[in-house]
Amino acid sequence: MNVILENLDLFAGGYWRSVQICLFGLIGSLLLGAVVAASRVSPWPSLRLGGTSWVTVLRNCPLTVVLFFCAFGLPELGIRGSYWTFGILGLVLYTSAFVGEAIRAGVNAVPTGQIEAARSIGLTFTQSLRLVIGPQAVRSVVPPLGSVVIGMLKNSAIVGAFGVGGDLFSVSDRLTSAQGYPALPVLLGVLAGYLAITLPAGAVIAVLERRVAILR
């Protein structure tokens, strides 16, 4: 416990850095995942093929492989950036495939008659998604999407281990390797930091699920 108190500023800084990774990863994966889901249910075959390929490849690749591709593969293509940028990019790309599938499942849960009715009154595909399908799909999307978000928050630790610097993982490495503190209390501090991220997120998701259940 003394280790945590003596280095509380380091743990606080690492916690905030990890929160930043989670926030950027969450925003990016939700936005990209929505695009992937829209492609998957698109009436245009080329978009459906692109969305399906995206999901198939990324869902079957380990996150570490995606991270290494971003960090070492993209620079060979002339794309430069920091480990911080590539780490978040890899997390967003990887998670977007799971987000896209969760949203697609919610869209498919909307009765076909609703979609046909939207088309019959002249709504375009985009208008149908925004005005008819989307509001109904949200109710089915929240539970699986919540699981994806929690998984993404935990995967942020892998991004930290990848070397973005300043996060909770790098704090533990600094204290144990560079300063010689015992590993157990340091890891307990890191565990507490990640629990302080995932538990509030889980509580928010549970509230959303209850509200959706009332609206059904």
Give residue-wise pLDDT tens across range 4-29: 777 778 888 888 888 998 999 999 99
CB atoms within 10 A of CB 83: 15
Please give the mean pLDDT across all residues of the chain. Answer: 84
pLDDT tens for 186-197 read 888 888 888 999
CATH classification at residue 179:
1.10.3720.10
> Is 105 a residue whose pLDDT tops 90?
no
Q: Which residue has the higher pLDDT, 121 or 194?
A: 194
Query: Structure tokens of 17?
Result: 């850095």
How many whole angstroms separate alpha carbon 124 and alpha carbon 150?
Answer: 34
pLDDT for 162 equals: 72
Number of domains in the chain: 1
**Range scoring the smallest mean pLDDT among 83-87, 98-102, 124-128, 151-155:** 124-128
Say if CB 84 and CB 165 are below 8 A apart: yes
Lowest average pLDDT, out of 39-43, 78-82, 95-99, 170-174, goes to 170-174
Q: What tokens does 211 get?
A: 């509200």
The rounded distance, in Å, linking the Cα atoms of 59 and 213 is 29
CA dist 153 and 209 (Å) reads: 18
pLDDT class of 1 with cuts at 50, 70, 90: low
Q: What is the pLDDT of residue 165?
A: 67
Which pLDDT belongs to residue 8? 79
Alpha-carbon distance of 145 to 154, in angstroms, equals 14
d(CA 160, CA 53): 28
Residue 155's domain comprises: 2-215
pTM: 0.85
Long-range contacts of 124-129 (CB under 8 A, 24+ apart): 125/42, 125/43, 129/38, 129/41
